[in-house]
A and B are shown apart, each in its own frame.
Chain A
Amino acid sequence: MKMFGKGLLKGLGITLKHGVEKPRTIQYPEQRPFLHQRFRGCLEFDYRNCIVCGMCIKACPNRVLSFETAPIEGSKKKRLLSYTIDLQYCLFCNLCVEACPTHTLFFVHNFELSTDRREQIKRVYTPPAGVQVPVAAAGAELIPPEALEPEVDAAAEAKRRKQIEAIKTALSKGGQKVLAKYVDTEEDAAILAELLQADEKKRDKVAALIVDDKEKARKAAQALVAKEKSRPAGGETQ
């Protein structure tokens, strides 16, 4: 039997059902949205990995990306002066991230991109003076994607770098107290401090290990001390 108004009652039933359901909204500034791992927020650039190949710029459909380079004397390679991401034109298509061979470009979870002025959304990255660019030489090993974290939290990364810098400066001025935690005796710490003060490369490595993984740092430190002790006296002069 056809009943008039059946559809209307059905509609009322549906709205009533939705009316008593829990709201699906989140209270944004207080509650943060859940973001999936591959969520594309702000596009970030890490100058340390850039080999200045320009693939990202070729890949970008909207000419968001641009860089300034300078030739390196006596080499075919180029040096990065500045890298610009004009995010206002970005459509977050991920083509630049895919094109980049060294995972220099990556998306982070920060999606709060609003600024007071249009110009402020443009990001210019300038590698600090004195940093050897390019870090990775041409033909360097391509880093497999799974080895890299797909999103690096920008704030955490900045914090990590700051910590490493702090430990490095501490080590370059001696830093026996820092090292004492990672070796067995005071004497060993003194040996290690002297060694690290002389060798910048080793110093960087140890500093990074201290921040990232204390256990590895301990092993590395002890290995370095053992190596130093086993070395014949006067070996350094050779």
Chain B
Amino acid sequence: MEHLFTDTAYMLTSWMVGLGIKPVWADLILLVVQWAIIIAIVTVNVIILIWLERKVSGFIQERLGPNRLGPFGAFQTIADAMKLLTKEDIIPSRADRWIFMSAPLLFIVVAVMLYAVLPLGKDMAVVDLNVGLFYFISLGSLSTICLLMAGWGSNNKWSLLGAMRSVAQMISYEIPLAFSLLGVVMIAGSLNLGEIVNAQNRYWFILLQPVAFLVYFIAATAELNRGPFDMPEAEQELTAGVYTEYTGMRWALFFLAEYTNLVAVSALAATLFFGGGQGHWLPSWIWIIIKTYLIMLVFMWMKWTFPRIRMDHLMAFSWKVLIPVSLANILVTGLGIEFFRGMGW
């Protein structure tokens, strides 16, 4: 079970090479297959997640959540997606057409690209990049541009305000996010996500870096534009923020990308702080699914508990609290590493 996917991939390449295809082409074809699988995983996950989010919010509010279509309302998301697919695609006449149309596409592309380096099990990253974490963080900041494109292209003041907010927020929270991960990198001594997982075979990094995890968790919530940091949407003030002018499938793409990002960020948290695929009895790829889902449940729990934070408080919290705390964490981690090395560990 443990090597189910890696063995299948190996068999597939050797079969293709056996057919007389050059190994380079075989690898390329395998890459395409892996991407297809990743996109399938993402889509299925999003379908489950939207249902789960509605159920969790329902339970927290002592409701039942969707329960009409299928067992426990499980097919509700599929019905919603079908409705969105059949909806009219409206592009405002004064919108900047190309920017408006390309923004959701780029957003989802960036979101899916994050999965390239995520080890979805032992040795199960699509690309085993030696600067995997760096790649992840830099791609994560690209989504800011997509939101700005959407806001600017819509030619609508709510959209633009939402976009401005999201840019300010995401750039501010990018810094503590990166800083918090530095502590982990310092201990593991590598930017490769697979090696960071291997470095946790004695202790999970949440035990060694609790402050970094806290900062990461808060900053990731802000990066995801999720409650209580969902200022870019803030439906009471900005109707739907950057998504105001989007309809039907274009809107659904944004929605899809948001949940895709949620899965990616949670999977990264599981990888960096909770030992990734490490665990007893079950294969590694099941462990990472379990850990990712537990972290996502906490994200949902937080979203449906906390009220939205005010914009200036949001910025002040990042610059005045999270960044100093994450910097201090780096300092303490560095000192600690030197101290333990001096003691001969």
Residues of A that sit less than 8 Å from B by CB: 8, 11-12, 14-16, 18-25, 27
Given contacts A23-B64, A25-B64, contact A12 B59 (CB under 8 A): no
Against A, the Cβ 8 Å flags (1 = close, 0 = not) of B301-320 are 11011100000000000000
B87 at the interface (CB under 8 A from A): no
- CB-defined contacts of A11 to chain B, threshold 8 Å: 305-306
Shortest C-beta distance, B30 to chain A (Å), equals 43
A24 to B58, CA, bound (A): 11
Once the chains are docked, how many angstroms separate the CA of A21 from the CA of B238? 34
5 more CB-based (< 8 A) A-B contacts, given A18-B62, A24-B62:
A12-B305, A15-B305, A16-B301, A19-B56, A19-B301
Are B306 and A19 interface neighbours, CB within 8 A? no
- Determine if A15 and B304 form an interchain contact, defined as CB atoms under 8 angstroms apart: yes
For chain B, the count of residues having a C-beta within 8 Å of the partner chain is 14
Q: Which residue of the partner chain, among A8, A14, A19, contacts B59 with CB atoms under 8 Å? A: A19
Residues A25 and B62 in contact in the complex (CB < 8 Å), given A12-B301, A15-B301, A16-B301: yes
Kindly state whether residue B6 has any CB partner on chain A within 8 Å. no
Contact call A19/B302, Cβ cutoff below 8 A: no
Q: How many A-B residue pairs have CB under 8 A?
A: 35
Q: Does A18 contact B306, Cβ atoms closer than 8 Å?
A: no
* Complexed CA–CA distance, A22 and B306 (Å): 22
Which residues of chain A are within 8 angstroms of B63 by Cβ–Cβ distance? 23-25
By a CB distance below 8 angstroms, the chain B residues around A22 are: 62
CA gap between A23 and B306 in the complex, in Å: 21
Distance in Å from the Cβ of B303 to the closest Cβ of chain A? 10
Q: Which residues of A contact B60 (CB under 8 A)?
A: 15, 18-19
Can you list 7 pairs linking A and B with CB atoms under 8 Å apart?
A16-B301, A18-B60, A18-B62, A20-B59, A23-B59, A25-B62, A25-B63
Q: B61 on the interface (CB 8 Å rule)? A: yes
Complex interface: chain B residues within 8 A of A27 (CB): 64, 67
Q: Which A residues are CB-close (under 8 A) to B67?
A: 27
* 0/1 interface trace, chain B 175-196, chain A, CB 8 Å (1 if under): 0000000000000000000000
Q: Which residue of B lies closest to A16 (CB)?
A: B301
| Docked complex Cα distance between A18 and B62 (Å) | 6
Bound together, the chains give a CA A16 to CA B300 distance in angstroms of 11
Give every chain A residue within 8 A of B301 (Cβ-Cβ).
12, 15-16, 19
Would you call B61 and A8 a contact (CB within 8 A)?
Answer: no
Q: Is the CB of B62 within 8 A of A21?
A: yes
Contact between B302 and A12, CB atoms less than 8 A apart: yes
A19 contacts across to B, CB distance below 8 A = 56, 59-60, 301
Q: How far is the CA of A23 from the CA of B58 in the complex (A)?
A: 8
* Contacts known (A15-B301, A19-B56); A8 close to B306, Cβ less than 8 A: yes
Q: Return B326 CB to nearest CB of chain A, in Å.
A: 16
Whole-angstrom distance between the Cβ of A198 and the nearest chain B Cβ: 62
Tell me which residues across on chain B come within 8 A of A16, comparing CB atoms: 301
A38 to chain B, nearest CB (A): 27
Top 7 A-B pairs ranked by shortest CB distance? A15-B305, A19-B59, A19-B60, A24-B62, A15-B60, A23-B64, A11-B305
Q: How far is the CB of B211 from chain A (nearest CB, A)?
A: 12
